[in-house]
Structure 1
Amino acid sequence: MATNPAHNKEILIFLLSSIGLIVLPHVYHLHWGVFGYFCFLLAWRFVGIWKPERLPTFPVILLLIVSGMAILYVQHRGFLGRDGGTSLFVIALGLKLMEIKTERDLYLINYLAFIVAASQFLYEQSILMAAYILFVTCVLLAVLVYINSYVAQTSVALKKAAVIIAQAVPMAIVVFILFPRVEAPRWLLFNDDHQAKMGLSDSMEPGSITDLGMSDELVFRVKFAGAIPPAKQRYWRGPVLTQTNGKKWTQASDLSYQKYLDKLTYMGTPYQYTLLMEPQEKNWVFALDMPADYPKPLERNANYQLLTSDNLDKRSEFKLVSYPTYNTGYLTKTEFKDARHLPGEPSENIKQLVAQLHGFDSPPDVFINQLLNHFREEDFHYTLTPPLMEENPIETFLFETRYGFCSHYASAFVYLMRVANIPARVVTGYQGGEWNAVGNFLEIKQADAHAWAEVWLDKQGWVRFDPTAAIAPERIEKNIDIARLVPGGLISYAAPSAGAQATFDFLKKARQLWSNVDYNWQRWVINYNNTNQASFLSSFGIADFKTMVYWMMGIVGIITAILSLFLLYRRPKPTDPVLIVYNRFLKKIAKAGLTKKPGEGARDFAERIKSKLLSQAATIEQITDAFIDQRYGRNPTGRGLIELNRLIILLKL
């Protein structure tokens, strides 16, 4: 009697191992209580393979269901949203493992596991994750092959599953390229408020920072269509900080004066580039200063910062044009007031320093040069680990510590400008970027975060001044290399040894090669939206929906025809040992002038030849039964194959 596959140890071990691989990456995404609960259920079910009596009874299963729902509700305060929905499926998958009784249960668990595997893409869409999901999908498909064909070897089931996936890949690629892209409505995107995302802050408080976090996390990539700006011009504009209480700098609360701004005047040669933003928390787009041409849904606020109304949880690509030289024109009354505001009366030390640098009795450009020379010639240092300055941070930095990074220098510079009655403000964003020579694009990371100053000058408008360049020009020309940090937060640009340099160059080249692969994956696969699809297909003359559908149906039809011909007309030699042995039987019978017809089943063939070989009818019946049991039975064995071979040898014609 056939064995129930739900009780087959090999199938259960294969299935449970596959499910463990599928849920494993969620250890980085789900709350530890949810993941731990699933691991507990999976381990319990593994024990049940060898000790079925240890499996939970119906009352215990009910208790497990209630406890699972309680964990889910406590951790997510409901069942909606990305994390809540994923956790619900993971817990349901674990609970379903506790009641495997029939073959139908195996199918349900397998299909539920496919959903959990797909949920990984809600968290990460990298090419490595895609390869991993393709692998676990192959494993899940192999489980179905195992259940249906009762293959005795896991490797054979995996091979068959891989062949099925390989046959489906060409059709999947065609459908991906040609099928109309449908954007989900914004109200269907459940955002998790507690999700940690990257991004600059909308405020700055350098005096309270004692260690600037150096993150290698990617913020955006930029590919230029033509000329590339030099490093000293690569300022990627972000929030503009105007208001301050002496410690903290924030954005202006009222930007309604935007309609009164003077018209921007652009000069010089523009830079055309494509910017691929990573998902972030804020609706900021960091354009090269100063953006002149930008597409919808981007818009520019009164501080010339680009904002987007697009979905922040996905990568976004924009084609922009920026000019390195520009004139913002006259200053509005609101800007003039905000850009000269001081939180209180400056100290005598501050006034004396401004007077010493001719801030009260000289034109603004003279004072600016004097102040930059002061930073350059006095004992100021650029460091990523400045001392704590909680009280009077600007005065403490200028007269006592003199150690700081870009935020300290920018805020002190702007403050001194305002003391001299010169409109000034702090601009934050990113500066520089690492050039990827393999893919010919820039990579801007969190380590490139920067702050500089803008001063309003008559007939010039807002002009950028970077005091960091005066004290640490290497920061602007070479950027921060995390690998070159030395104790104390200072940056070393000393030449390494020949061996160390060779190793560093090799690793850098390998990293850039991988980054180029990932960049193209993000652009052409993850970010393949309806806009990119229309642009790509138009190059092939596919400009409307009707033509797109015709192309898709035609190519899919051709692929289907090729695969059908390949599957129906190929005549491979049998590799199954059971078929090899059975073919010996067919060759023996053929010597008596009896051949098996195409499509004729083994049982029908046996019934036809028994009437003509009456003396061997019993042996033929035994051979046929043994072949069917070994070929299609649930528990084929090596001993059964030996018995089949023995019966064929005994057959005498």
Structure 2
Amino acid sequence: MPFLPSTRLMLFMLGSIGLITLPHAWHIPPVLFGFFTLMLLWRLFGVWRPSYLPNRLTVFLLMLAGIGLLYSQQHSVFGRDAGTGLFVVALGLKLLEIHGKRDVYVIVYLAFIVAVTQFLYEESILMALYILLVCGVLLATLITQNSQAPQTLPALKTSAALILQSLPLALVLFVLFPRLEAPHWSWLDDDTQARSGLSNTLEPGSIAELSLSPELVFRVKFDGELPPPAQRYWRGPVYASTDGVRWRAPPVLGRENNPDQPAFTGTAYDYTLMMEPQKQNWVFALEMPTQFAGGLRRNGLYQLISNKNPGDRAEYRLSSSPAYNTGGISKTERRENLQVPGKPSVRIVELVRQLQDKQARPELFIGNLLQHFRQENFHYTLSPDPMPDQPIETFLFERRAGFCSHYATAFVYLLRVAEIPARVVGGYQGGQINEVGGFLEIRQADAHAWAEAWLEGRGWVRFDPTAAIAPERIERGVNVDLQIASGAVNFSPVQLDAKTLSWLQRGRQLWQSVDYNWQRWIINYDTVNQKAFLQSLGINDFVKLGYWLLISIAGIGGILAWRLLRPNRRRQDPALVLYRQFCAKLSKAGIEVDAGDGPKTLAERAAHRRPDLAESIGRITAIFIRLRYQADSKTSDLQVLKTLVASFRV
């Protein structure tokens, strides 16, 4: 006889497959997801109209169409996106070909693979809970398939019980089983999703575009005191060469080992920095990093570079000191950082001459320039007027309104005209404190640009002209929510005490704290973190690790076996428990209680032996019979029986 799956089984399976594949609507091309949806709806319609299901030839033609669509969209079957699309298309086609129980098993197992591919795109705790839920429904499909009398609710309960029983074993394997790192060649399969952020090129106004993005860049947890807001500069790319409009990062090849290493003084801050996936392999350390973990290097521009895949989330242990001296400057660096595009205009030269003193001391010129920004009616804005031609000169003498990149590039340009080596530094400034988790969150809206000038005896020194125009930007930071909502500059209010935070803000910070710990302790539990954790337990070699694995699995297996194989003791009827207490009191009074006595027989014999207790014996027996054998008992009868038995004295 042909295999005819039940309607309940098919609806159960199709529903779970639809839930598992739904998040991929945002991951694979719409054409491929539409193809899968068509196959799913076709099979759903076939549950009630089997005659409308396609024959073998039609399925073959659909397979060719699916392969054609897959190749036209992905041009390959290898890699994350192409492989996911292949599994989704194959799952949709397999739904139209169910001829036996084996096909149901193949579909369910293929659906489990599609569920796992979700974690190639998103690793949040919400996605993990969602996949766990839909996999539980999919497991219930297998239970329904192998049940003599399938029912939905019992299948879901059994599925939940199996998952709960497997969690301890999964936890042990997660913690103790050796981690397998992805090979470096897998980086070639680049994430095609666009990510915003800083780049190797800076244009005045480019950071203003990031100021409206709430995208998380990294999170920082300090071991002790947080640095004050004015020191929270997170160093990124350095821009030295310019054509007057764009500023570009210079090549650092050949200058990896600076002959003059920075000298550090003052307080050092130790912290853990968790980078979110990004386009570049930059690590935004607090300026200036003194110590950094393996896998990081500091290039000749004092920027940290990671050898890890930038598309993966990564965690680093760092130490930074805000007080430093970078030492001397090479001829190449001096030439690079004095470069200007063409001859400066008369107005630029005149402004520089006015700000210089007779001895041409760099420190005095810089102070005069910052004072010029404060006094000459300059403004800080996210939406300055366009300045396509001669942007620096237009900004300085006409518009006088701009964002941090306008001020930093104009500041550096004027210093170079004054023969002071200078360059622009990009990165992030500030960050929002999460009061619940005790860490800083730095988002794209915190993107910032500042300047560095080389001074004799001090090395490269940071100057932030934005602080001269809008000191609240540095001291209080950006209010990301208000800035995105209004599209205008909004700075955070003075940090409030935790008790004054609104419940909505605290709820959001609580969730962000949960997500931070999920990412740190679960997602980032890589080989390095596992090794450190196991060493803290005294596990230093594979022999000890093997013992721990065997003992842990055997212990959990023994507990589960005892739980599953022990006799199933049914919960006793509370009325029967009270009646047995009553019988025990009769035995103490010398009244024999035989195992075969019914309640009425025992009551008659007890009343004959103890006439003084006949009324109490009769009431207790009547209520017990009503509770035990009659349908008209009341909820209050059990309490009455309990009271009578407790007050019965012999």
Could you state the TM-score of these two structures normalised by the residue count of structure 2? Answer: 0.84
Contact 1:260 1:332 in 2 (8 A): no
Report Cα offsets for 1:414-462 as digits up to 9, x if no partner.
Answer: 0010011110000001111111111111111111111000000010000
What is the CA distance between 1:254 and its match in structure 2? 5.0
CA distance in 1, matches of 2:358, 2:32: 65
Partner of 1:646: none
After TM superposition, list the pairs within 5 Å mapping 1:62-73 onto structure 2. Answer: 62-73=60-71
SS at match of 1:206: coil
Contact 1:210 1:387 in 2 (8 A): no
SS at match of 1:490: coil
Report Cα offsets for 1:341-375 as digits up to 9, x if no partner.
Answer: 00011111111211222267531111111111111
Q: Structure 1 251/23 Cα, relative in aligned 2: closer, same or farther at 3 Å?
A: same
After TM superposition, list the pairs within 5 Å mapping 1:210-221 onto structure 2. Answer: 211-221=209-219
Report Cα offsets for 1:559-606 as digits up to 9, x if no partner.
Answer: 1111111111131549xxxxxxxxxxxxxxxxxxxxxxxxxxxxxxxx
Give structure 1 stretches of 5+ with no counterpart. Answer: 575-653
Q: 2:145 aligns with which of 119, 135, 147?
A: 147
What is the CA distance between 1:263 and its match in structure 2? 2.5
**Which stretch shows the higher mean deviation, 373-382 or 24-33?**
373-382
What is the CA distance between 1:482 and its match in structure 2? 2.4
**Which stretch shows the higher mean deviation, 397-406 or 464-473?**
397-406
Q: 1:518 aligns with which of 508, 515, 518?
A: 515
Partner of 1:100: 98
CA distance in 2, matches of 1:171, 1:329: 56
CA distance in 1, matches of 2:487, 2:359: 39
SS at match of 1:292: strand
Matched AA of 1:509: R
Partner of 2:625: none
Matched AA of 1:159: K
SS at match of 1:452: strand
CA distance in 2, matches of 1:24, 1:299: 41
After TM superposition, list the pairs within 5 Å mapping 1:464-475 onto structure 2. Answer: 464-475=462-473
Partner of 2:250: 252
Correspondence 1:379 to 2:377: yes
Larger Rg: 2
Partner of 1:310: 308
Q: 2:532 aligns with which of 530, 535, 539?
A: 535
Partner of 1:570: 567
CA distance in 1, matches of 2:261, 2:493: 46
Question: % of aligned pairs identical?
Answer: 53
Contact 1:30 1:87 in 2 (8 A): yes
Contact 1:45 1:98 in 2 (8 A): yes
Correspondence 1:276 to 2:274: yes
Correspondence 1:554 to 2:562: no
CA distance in 2, matches of 1:263, 1:189: 32
Partner of 2:588: none
What is the CA distance between 1:253 and its match in structure 2? 2.8
SS at match of 2:96: helix
SS at match of 1:391: coil
Q: Structure 1 194/448 Cα, relative in aligned 2: closer, same or farther at 3 Å?
A: same
After TM superposition, list the pairs within 5 Å mapping 1:66-145 onto structure 2. Answer: 66-145=64-143
After TM superposition, list the pairs within 5 Å mapping 1:341-360 onto structure 2. Answer: 341-358=339-356
Aligned residues: 570
Partner of 1:614: none
Contact 1:433 1:448 in 2 (8 A): yes
**Which stretch shows the higher mean deviation, 299-308 or 370-379?**
370-379
Correspondence 1:509 to 2:506: yes
Contact 1:281 1:312 in 2 (8 A): yes
Contact 2:257 2:299 in 1 (8 A): no
Report Cα offsets for 1:288-347 as digits up to 9, x if no partner.
Answer: 111111121111111000101112222111111111100011110000000000001111
Report Cα offsets for 1:40-84 as digits up to 9, x if no partner.
Answer: 111111111111111112221111111111111111111000000
Q: 1:296 aligns with which of 294, 297, 307?
A: 294
Partner of 2:393: 395
SS at match of 2:159: helix
What is the CA distance between 1:487 and its match in structure 2? 5.1
Matched AA of 1:414: V
What is the CA distance between 1:489 and its match in structure 2? 2.1
Partner of 2:474: 476
CA distance in 1, matches of 2:166, 2:256: 55
CA distance in 2, matches of 1:123, 1:479: 31
SS at match of 2:371: helix
CA distance in 2, matches of 1:406, 1:150: 71
Contact 1:354 1:416 in 2 (8 A): yes
Partner of 1:489: 488
Partner of 1:600: none
Give structure 2 stretches of 5+ with no counterpart. Answer: 572-650
Q: Structure 1 168/463 Cα, relative in aligned 2: closer, same or farther at 3 Å?
A: same
